[in-house]
Amino acid sequence: MKALLDVGSIGAAGLRGLLDRARDHADALRAGERVVPSLDGRVVGLLFFEPSTRTRVSFDLAAKRLGATVLVLDPDRSSINKGESLRDTVLTVSSIGAEILVVRHSEARSPALVHTWTGRPVINAGDGTNQHPTQALADCLTLEERFGSIQGLRVAIVGDIVHSRVAGSLVDALRTLGAEVILVGPDAMLPENDLPRSGDLDEVLAEVDVVYLLRIQRERGVEASDDYQSRFQLDFDRSARMKPEAVVMHPGPINRGVEISVEVADGPRSLILDQVACGVPVRMAALEAVGGIDW
Ligand code: NCD
């Protein structure tokens, strides 16, 4: 795999291979193994042109756990502020010696451009409203660890789906692995496609195994209507109407009191911190895959 730009292009076998490798890493981490030096001495460049907490930090730790050297570009203090283009910036970082590039950018498809310009392996860490493949992998690993298999699970994705790169990748991954997906939200937040959809969260709550909540992407120009919370917030009462074994997920950052209540975010159904923890082993697997490591 020369690049991990989206979920669609890696296919079912690619997805399965990454998840199996990530599961092995997760088991090894739990067993106390700290470093698996398959990328010993290789240089991983983290190029985050948009804010990030969990994705950036987990790529950083994943690379270090593989024995790589991590080179972090801080865009706010880089020559981008002096008018340098994205192309010149990434060619510079590549020439300095970054061998694998992890790219987050507000423009869809910029990680693909970085791959073309530099010829280096690239992982898309979130591009505009397009894709976020390693988040989808972390979510699938979380679900497999909880349910054993994703095949046949019913997953409601709720909220600002049209602006969500997380949803873009997750829908592809879940359907490839045999889950049924239903999109839930106000019309203006649902993309145009032929997936099952609903504007009524209460109608689907008791039917699904997973409620996957999304933040409203205000930085991409969308505002919630006044009745958003009353219609779509997953609060205690709604969570009580879910199936006994059903779980709540969210890629973070969460906005407590908007799409999710405080009690539900911290409650027994919440897998939010499991998703975060799964971010490290899946990013280890992704870095190895684009780094040409056979497993
Ligand atoms: C998301 C992102 O940046 O795409 N967060 C993440 O990576 N876990 C989701 C978001 O910003 O809402």
Gap from CA of 132 to ligand 1 centroid (Å): 8
166, 218, 220, 255, best to mutate for ligand 1 pocket (most atoms within 8 Å of CB): 166
For 97-140, the pLDDT digits (tens) are 999 999 999 999 999 999 999 999 999 999 999 999 999 999 99
pLDDT of 295 > 90? The answer is no
Q: What is the pTM of this model?
A: 0.97
Distance CA 123, CA 49 (A): 14
CATH fold, domain 133-275, is Rossmann fold (3.40.50)
Nearest Cα to 39, choosing from 66, 58, 69, 4? 66
In angstroms, how far is the first alpha carbon of the chain from the final one?
A: 13
Distance CA 139, CA 249 (A): 8
Nearest atom in ligand 1 to the alpha carbon of residue 132 is: 4
Distance CA 35, CA 67 (A): 7
Looking at residue 80, its pLDDT comes to 85
Ligand 1 contacts CB of residue 134 (under 6 A): no
For 63-92, the pLDDT digits (tens) are 999 999 999 999 888 888 888 999 999 999
Ligand 1 contacts CB of residue 126 (under 6 A): yes
Beta bridge partner(s), residue 248: 211, 270
For 226-237, the pLDDT digits (tens) are 899 999 999 999
Read off the tokens for 80: 């981008």
Distance CA 186, CA 168 (A): 17
For 256-275, the pLDDT digits (tens) are 999 999 999 999 999 999 99
Gap from CA of 100 to ligand 1 centroid (Å): 22
Q: To the nearest whole percent, how much of the chain has pLDDT over 90?
A: 93
Read off the tokens for 254: 């969460």
Gap from CA of 111 to ligand 1 centroid (Å): 16
Domain spans in the chain, listed from the N-terminal domain onward:
3-130+278-290, 133-275
Looking at residue 237, its pLDDT comes to 98
Looking at residue 81, its pLDDT comes to 83
CA angle 91, 55, 112 (to 5 degrees): 35
Which residue puts its alpha carbon closest to atom 11 of ligand 1? 253
Q: Domain 3-130+278-290: give its CATH superfamily.
A: Aspartate/ornithine carbamoyltransferase (3.40.50.1370)
The sign of the CA dihedral 12, 18, 24, 26 is: negative
For 158-209, the pLDDT digits (tens) are 999 999 999 999 999 999 999 999 999 999 999 999 999 999 999 999 999 9
Beta bridge partner(s), residue 73: 47
Same CATH fold, 133-275 and 3-130+278-290?
A: yes
- CA distances (Å), 65 to each of 58, 136, 197, in order? 10, 21, 41
